[in-house]
């Protein structure tokens, strides 16, 4: 997983997985991507960065189940829209945490939960019922995808015991493309 450079084959696979061939009309463009990054004090990880700049900023077809959100949007069922999200602060987790089953929660559990939902990630979209997919943009797991719901959070990818898929945005998309009926290219 390379968070700093997108390869041509990787970008071609992303284009194919989403079936997007509009010459970049649905993309943000580099100026808008750089403005988003400057406003939030981050640099988006590759290949997602090039994907939203050159290919598309969101898609009504998956992944996830209800489509890929534009970079600056949140799912309709997000909840408290007034809560401040700070993408420049590091995402706090490096391993699965199922808080619903946690017999010995940390003292600062409420603060940590707020950070899980609001620090260091963009929301890629939802599978419904508050089960959201996040791309980590700051912290030790930068570039990794996490599934965060109302009961816990878990990193995506074979190295974490979650599927046999490669980690990161491209691995996540490839996994979905190979396993979801929405994609005829699979």
The Cα–Cα gap between 67 and 57 comes to 11
pLDDT for 181 equals: 58
Please tell me whether the peptide bond between 63 and the residue prior to it is cis, using omega within 30 degrees of 0. yes
Q: Does residue 39 fall inside a structural domain?
A: yes
User: How far is CA 163 from each of CA 3, 32, 40, 86, 166, rounded to the nearest angstrom?
Assistant: 21, 34, 32, 29, 9
Name the β-bridge partners of 89: none
How many domains, in total, are found in the chain? 1
> Which one has a higher pLDDT value, 48 or 66?
48
pLDDT for 106 equals: 83
Q: Does residue 185 fall inside a structural domain?
A: no
Asked whether the predicted pLDDT for residue 182 surpasses 60, the reply is: no
| Cα dihedral value 121, 122, 125, 127, nearest 10 | 10
User: How far is CA 110 from each of CA 22, 150, 180, rounded to the nearest angstrom?
Assistant: 44, 13, 35
Q: What is the pLDDT of residues 89-148, one digit of tens each?
A: 999 999 999 998 888 878 889 999 999 999 999 999 999 888 999 999 999 999 999 999
Predicted TM-score (pTM) of the model is 0.91
Q: Does residue 19 fall inside a structural domain?
A: yes
pLDDT for 82 equals: 62
Kindly state the tokens that stand for 175: 């996994």
Provide the pLDDT confidence category of residue 87 given band limits of 50, 70 and 90: very high
Contacting residues for 57 by C-beta, under 8 A, at least 6 apart: 26, 27, 28, 70, 71
Q: Does residue 184 fall inside a structural domain?
A: no
Q: Does residue 186 fall inside a structural domain?
A: no
Q: Does residue 3 fall inside a structural domain?
A: no
Q: Does residue 106 fall inside a structural domain?
A: yes
Asked whether the predicted pLDDT for residue 65 surpasses 70, the reply is: yes
When pLDDT is averaged across residues 152-175 and rounded to a whole number, the result is 89
pLDDT for 136 equals: 98
Domain residue limits at 16: 8-179
């Amino acid at each position: 997983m390379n968070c700093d450079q997108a390869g041509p084959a990787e970008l071609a696979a992303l284009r194919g997985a989403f079936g997007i061939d509009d010459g970049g009309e649905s993309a943000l463009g580099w100026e808008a991507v750089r403005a988003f990054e400057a406003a939030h004090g981050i640099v988006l990880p590759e290949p997602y960065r090039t994907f939203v700049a050159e290919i598309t900023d969101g898609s009504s077809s998956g992944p996830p189940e209800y489509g890929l959100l534009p970079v600056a949007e949140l799912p309709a069922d997000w909840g408290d829209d007034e809560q401040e999200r700070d993408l420049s602060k590091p995402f706090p987790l490096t391993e699965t945490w199922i808080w619903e089953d946690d017999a010995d929660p940390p003292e600062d559990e409420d603060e940590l939960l707020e950070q899980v939902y609001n620090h260091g990630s963009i929301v890629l979209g939802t599978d419904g019922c508050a089960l959201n997919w996040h791309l980590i943009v700051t912290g030790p797991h930068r570039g990794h995808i996490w599934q965060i719901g109302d009961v816990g959070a878990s990193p995506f990818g074979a190295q974490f015991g979650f599927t046999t898929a490669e980690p990161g945005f491209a691995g996540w998309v490839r996994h979905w493309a190979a396993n979801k009926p929405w994609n005829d290219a699979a």
